[in-house]
Amino acid sequence: MKFFFRIIPKLLIILFFSNSALSSESEFEKVLTDNFKLITKSSSKTVEPVIEKLLNSNFSKVEEFLKFWKSKKLIFTKKTKVIATLKQKNELGYELIQFSNNKNLGYFKKKEFKSIKPNSGVRSKISNALIGFQLQSKDANTRSKSLETLARNFNPKYLKPLKNTIEKETDSKIKKRMSELLVFGTIKYSTSVKDKIASLNTLRGNLSIEARGVIASLLRSKVYVGDVKPNLPNLARIIVPEETIKNMDGSSSKPIFNFNRKPEISKQDAIELLIKAKFLKDFISPSRRDEILEQNIIKGKIEGVPVGKLITDEERIKTYNLLVKSNKALPLKTTEEINEIIKKHFFYAVYEEKSGEVINIAKKIFNNTNYKVNFYKYLDLILDGLSLASIYFLGAIGLAITFGVMRVINMAHGEFIMMGAYTGYVVQLFIPNHTVSLIIAFPLAFFVTFFAGVTLERLVIRHLYKNPLDTLLATFGVSIALQQIAKNIFGTQARPLTSPEWLDGALVVNDVLSISLIRIAIFALGIIFLILLLIVMNKTRLGLETKAVTQNPMMASSMGINPDRINMLTFGFGSGIAGIAGVAIGLFSKVTSELGSDYIVQSFMTVVVGGVGNIWGTLAGATMIGMLQKLIEWFNPSNTLAAQTYMIIFIILFIQFRPKGIIALKGRAAED
């Protein structure tokens, strides 16, 4: 008896589950049978109801069916209309298995069945349907991919499954992404005001594009027209045609000092709204007027007026009025009449979101976010300017020393930059480790260009000190010769100077601001150069003697200083600095024989604007030019050539008012 009472419940449980399994199986088979045509010949427009029915069938193999369907592995028999899968192929034919109940259908010839091949639109719908299953997958990669699919095309029916899976998720990154999508989905699709507000509050300070887009979606509005002033909880703004402009947060303002911003609705838009709302009846537009004129052409004339005369709009109106007098057309409304009708009606925008509380919170969060976004955009602009300034400073600092001390217009300075870049390239040919190669390239580039500068000074420049302008022509010829030598050795093709891996990527502050590591490195190098130069010029014998020669060469000579030697070393020192700058510039620029030509003009401008021969002046000039160029490019980002042109014009005007530069040099340079 005890055995009987133990076994009966187990049998009942087995019978219950077997009956429920059969029930779900039959229900699934019924869905397949009833929707056979829509499954075998599906389209993106008709497939969604079928997928919905499959999901509601609660059959254990729904996920498998959708996967087979998407991957084009389903087959149907032409005669019996049964959906199946291929088990195997042998000498007997193709063995098919009915999908719903795993029943063996036997062997078929190829002409007796056909593959189900859903198009890309259908496969996309199936992918969306699979998300619910994929969110619960054991494979983290599958869950991650399903989230990205959901992000591209969010379906509100996944809000609940998403909420349930978050609690079970163990991967922190996936869990964070799930939480984000749940917040975005709740804001967009939830009918609960409380849930929307709670989700909105989690986005405070979130600067991601997705978050900003979701908040902005709550501030979307549609324009209407009425004969009474609206009083709605989700009223966005009252609009005056041709005057009111829409702000980013959904508010409105008049276009004062907003020359590039168009009014929200034009007069034509207002007329179309009035016609659609049936507030403006029997309105004849210019196009409709011309159609009526064409319809009344008889033997090349309209009411006795030759068609050839109807060239101007004025003539067409006159002729149309003749048709009105003959009761062949409705009268045209005058401009005054239309303006009066527009003034009598109210144009207004209504938020798509119904809750005023949700709208107000969305506005506050949007405005706060927008302020932060603008702040980081301006900060990025400043950092861009500083980055460019550091490049100009590196390129110009050597020129500042030679030009300031010796008054030599060295047009070959750009070629010393080019020589430094090629030195770095050659070092990397022998030392594949990019970090080590750079450590060697920087001092080597200094020595190579130092000796090149000393050689140029000894052979050419020292013979032209009494005629400074002659140095321009002489060094210009040298620069052409150096470019040609570089072409002969390295060719015309750009050579790579690769930065170390640890300089790849960027320092990501947030979704708005990211700073590339190479920019940070160049900026740091500029600061290091500034400190080293200040130490050399203020704390070493060479620096003190250079200052003495700069301020008063005759007095320096009488004190035992050799000005000729100082000039040689100074020119070599300035050229060596150009070589180091070349290695730095080559890390983010193409290393070619024309590399120096791209920086020589900016280098001279930096020196002249900052103050000839002054390190701090060069820094100030580089900062001003770099910031100015980036600011002009910000206003006109599509045309960098125009930005450089405007910058040169500004510098010319600046020099007219301050010819000695930002920080004027005292001594020989000032006297000259």
Structure tokens at 508: 């990501």
Give the number of other CB atoms < 10 A from CB of residue 141: 9
Phi, psi of 492 (to 5 degrees): -90, -15
- pLDDT tens-place string over residues 437-465: 989 999 999 999 999 999 998 888 888 87
pLDDT at 510 over 50: yes
pLDDT at 21 over 50: no
- Distance between CA atoms of residues 186 and 198, nearest Å: 9
3-state secondary structure 197-231: HHHHHCCCCCCCHHHHHHHHHCCCEEEEEECCCCC
- Distance between CA atoms of residues 379 and 626, nearest Å: 14
Buried b (16+ CB within 10 A) or exposed e, 296-331: beeeeebbeeeeeebeeeeebeebbeebeeeeebbe
pLDDT of residue 420: 92
Architecture of the domain whose range is 373-671: Orthogonal Bundle (1.10)
- Distance between CA atoms of residues 594 and 590, nearest Å: 9
pLDDT at 622 over 80: yes
- pLDDT tens-place string over residues 29-80: 777 788 888 888 878 788 888 877 777 776 777 778 888 888 888 888 888 8
State percent of the chain over pLDDT 90: 11
Secondary structure of residue 283 in the 3-state scheme: coil
Q: Burial, 223: exposed, middle or buried (Cβ in 10 Å; 0-12, 13-18, 19+)? A: middle
- Distance between CA atoms of residues 548 and 532, nearest Å: 19
- Distance between CA atoms of residues 481 and 487, nearest Å: 10
Question: Which range scores top for mean pLDDT: 135-144, 165-174, 275-284, 556-565?
Answer: 275-284
Sign of torsion over alpha carbons 355, 357, 360, 365: negative
Structure tokens at 386: 């500083």
Structure tokens at 9: 């419940």
pLDDT of residue 4: 44
- pLDDT tens-place string over residues 486-507: 999 988 888 888 888 888 888 8
pLDDT of residue 639: 63
Among 392, 401, 388, 387, smallest CA distance to 534 is for 401
- Strands 74-77 and 113-115 turn out to be antiparallel
pLDDT of residue 20: 43
Buried b (16+ CB within 10 A) or exposed e, 469-503: eebeebbeebbeebbeebeeebeeeebebbbbeeb
Higher pLDDT, 538 or 638: 538
In this prediction, residue 424 has a pLDDT band, given cuts at 50, 70 and 90, of very high
pLDDT of residue 663: 75
State percent of the chain over pLDDT 70: 91
- pLDDT tens-place string over residues 355-406: 889 999 999 999 999 999 999 999 988 988 888 888 888 888 878 777 766 6
CA angle 616, 618, 621 (to 5 degrees): 110
Residues 109-114 have a mean pLDDT of: 86
pLDDT of residue 638: 64
pLDDT of residue 14: 42
Higher pLDDT, 156 or 18: 156
Among 670, 405, 408, smallest CA distance to 537 is for 405
pLDDT of residue 334: 85
Higher pLDDT, 631 or 1: 631
- Distance between CA atoms of residues 379 and 377, nearest Å: 5
pLDDT at 667 over 50: no
- pLDDT tens-place string over residues 228-263: 989 888 888 899 888 878 776 667 766 554 545 678
Mean pLDDT of the chain, nearest integer: 82
Residues 600-611 have a mean pLDDT of: 81
Q: What DSSP assignment string belongs to 42-55? A: --TTTHHHHHHHHH
pLDDT of residue 425: 92
Out of 19-23, 558-562, 609-613, least confident range: 19-23
Contact 401, 584 (CB under 8 A): no
Residue ranges per domain, the chain?
25-122, 135-217, 284-332, 373-671
CA atoms within a 13 Å half-sphere pointing along the CA-CB vector of 428: 20
Phi, psi of 548 (to 5 degrees): -65, -45
